[in-house]
Amino acid sequence: MKTPTNKTYTVLEATQKLEYYCSYQERCHQEVVAKLRELKMIPEVVDTIVVHLIQHNFLNEERFACSFARGKHRIKFWGKIRIVNELKFRHISTYNITKALKEISEAEYLETFHKLAEHHWEIIRENNVLKKKKKFCDFMLRKGFESGLVYEKMKELGSSTSSD
């Protein structure tokens, strides 16, 4: 999958390769720069190609952030904390992170949270209620949901099934 180390690319070839790379999936600047470095492009050419991609709308961090937030929430069921941390890790601006979080409505967010929480509570096979609660909380916090939401839901689920 990696490109051979002896292959060299002209600026035009690298540009076309990166246009394709950005066209089939939204990318952040960091991924594009890493890809160009992998192709052994010099820093001046990297800057030129990134500018070209932005000008021709192949690369747009706001669009990337919004798409990332929607996808990770709807497909992987991530909470806002995890989404924010992952976007920060990719050096996305606070402005774009805030805009991305607006892509997830409060109703959709809470519906996803409750469905995931109830499903996960049901599939945890643990007879010790304290251990079950800990496993539940650890999972939901790892998914990136707010601790207040998680602990409230744990109390609700823990009290409704205390006959376990």
Over residues 111-149, the pLDDT tens digits come to 999 999 999 999 999 899 999 999 999 999 999 999 999
Over residues 4-33, the pLDDT tens digits come to 556 788 999 999 999 999 998 999 999 999
Q: Which residue has the higher pLDDT, 160 or 97?
A: 97
Give pLDDT, residue 164: 41
Q: 58 CB contacts (<8 Å, ≥6 apart)?
A: 18, 19, 22, 23
For 52, what's the count of Cα atoms within 13 Å in the CB-facing half-sphere?
Answer: 17
Residue-level length of the chain = 164
**Rounded to an integer, what is the distance from CA 147 to the centroid of its chain?**
19
Give pLDDT, residue 6: 66
Over residues 38-63, the pLDDT tens digits come to 999 999 999 999 999 999 999 999 99
Q: CA 67 to CA 142: how far, in whole Å?
A: 21
